[in-house]
Every structure is written in structure tokens, then in C-alpha cells.
Amino acid sequence: MGFLATIRNYIKISGVGSISRRYFIMNAFDGATTVLGIVVGAHVAEITNQLWIISAGLGAALAMGLSGFAGAYMTEEAERTVSLKDLEKSMLSDLSNSIVGEASRFASIWTGIVDGVSPTVSAVVCLVPFILSFHGMFPIHLAIQLSIVIGLSLMFLLGAFLGRISDRNVILHGVKTLCVGLVLTSILLIFKLVK
């Protein structure tokens, strides 16, 4: 069995597909929201140095990635160990060397990876305009606008993806998650107005 086929098999056996999908949406959303907050906050504070925003954003992305991986891996590993032990009691046999045990171990690592990578990737994607701006491709105010648009678009896409997997209105779900980003942006921009 090939590498990809083995992974697909483990995902199927462990039933980790829906859990990792949930983790992916939740944490990618977290990543986009966090960087959106940093970017709009930097705009409110009138920070004009791209490197500060990139550093703050990457720091947050790395922290979310590490915390996501460690948290999800440890939680999932503990839960799956209990489930496997339960199953072993019912089977009256050791399942650690069976495909069930392997799939269980794989599921913990897989959820850790999904939980760690999804916020990091979404956060880094939102920071791309600042990286390009840092290299002189466009001014920082345009980078701020682009980053906000990318962040809000990511939120919309994640919501739309939720709508698609639940077989409901894709646009409506996209707008729902977009509203969260708009609320955050509005609150921070109000700070700028009252400052």
C-alpha cells in the first residue's frame, strides 16, 4: 500500500477526518482573526514599520502553531489511548500493533499537524502584503488594506467551506464568519476615531 493510501486508510479507520476538518476551520479562523487584529491594531496605533507588523504577526503565527500542535496532539493522544484501552478490554486482546492501534497513533499526530499548521498558514497568508511591502513593492497603507481584505476573504471562505460541508447556504455561512471579522475591524477602527 502506498504512503497516501496508508494515510487515507488510517484517516478512515480512526475516523479523524471530521475532527481534523473541525480543527482546521476553527484554527485557520483563529489565525486569520488574530492577524487581522494585529494589522488593524497596528493601523490604529499608526505603526508605519512593516517589520514590526511582520514580527508581531509571525510571532503570533508561530505561537498559535506550536500551541495548536502541542495542545491538539496531547488532548487527542490522551482521548485515543482511553478509547483504545476500552476497545482492548472488549476485544480481550492487545491492539497496539494492529492497524487500529497504528491508526489511533496516527490520528493524534494528524490532528496536531492540522491544528498547528492551519492557524500558521492563514496568519502568514494575511502577512504576505507586508512582506511584499517590506521589499518595496507597494506602500504600507496599501499593505494594510490588502491584508485586511485577505483576512476577511479567508474568513468568508472558511464560512463558505462550512456551508458546503454541511450542505447549506454557502454564501450565508460565508457572510456569517465574515461578520466576525467586520465586528473586530469596526471595534478597532472605533478606537482610532475616539483616540
Q: How far is the CB of 153 from another protein (least distance, A)?
A: 38
How far is it, in rounded angstroms, from Cα 191 to Cα 16? 42
Select 67 or 98, whichever has its Cβ closest to another protein: 98
How far is it, in rounded angstroms, from Cα 27 to Cα 10? 22
Select 15 or 139, whichever has its Cβ closest to another protein: 15
Select 12 or 168, whichever has its Cβ closest to another protein: 12
Q: How far is the CB of 103 from another protein (least distance, A)?
A: 8
Q: How far is the CB of 100 from another protein (least distance, A)?
A: 4
Q: How far is the CB of 149 from another protein (least distance, A)?
A: 43
| Nearest residue to 16 via CA among 132, 115, 152 | 115
H-state helical runs in the chain:
3-14, 16-44, 50-91, 99-134, 140-165, 170-194
Residues that bind another protein (CB under 8 A): 9, 12-15, 86-87, 90-93, 95, 97-101
Q: How far is the CB of 84 from another protein (least distance, A)?
A: 10
- 140-165 and 99-134 helices cross at what angle (nearest 10)? 150
Which amino acid is it at 51?
A: L
Select 58 or 88, whichever has its Cβ closest to another protein: 88
Sequence-distant (≥ 6) Cβ neighbours of residue 189 within 8 angstroms: 40, 44
Which amino acid is it at 33?
A: T
Longest dimension (CA), the chain: 68
Select 93 or 167, whichever has its Cβ closest to another protein: 93
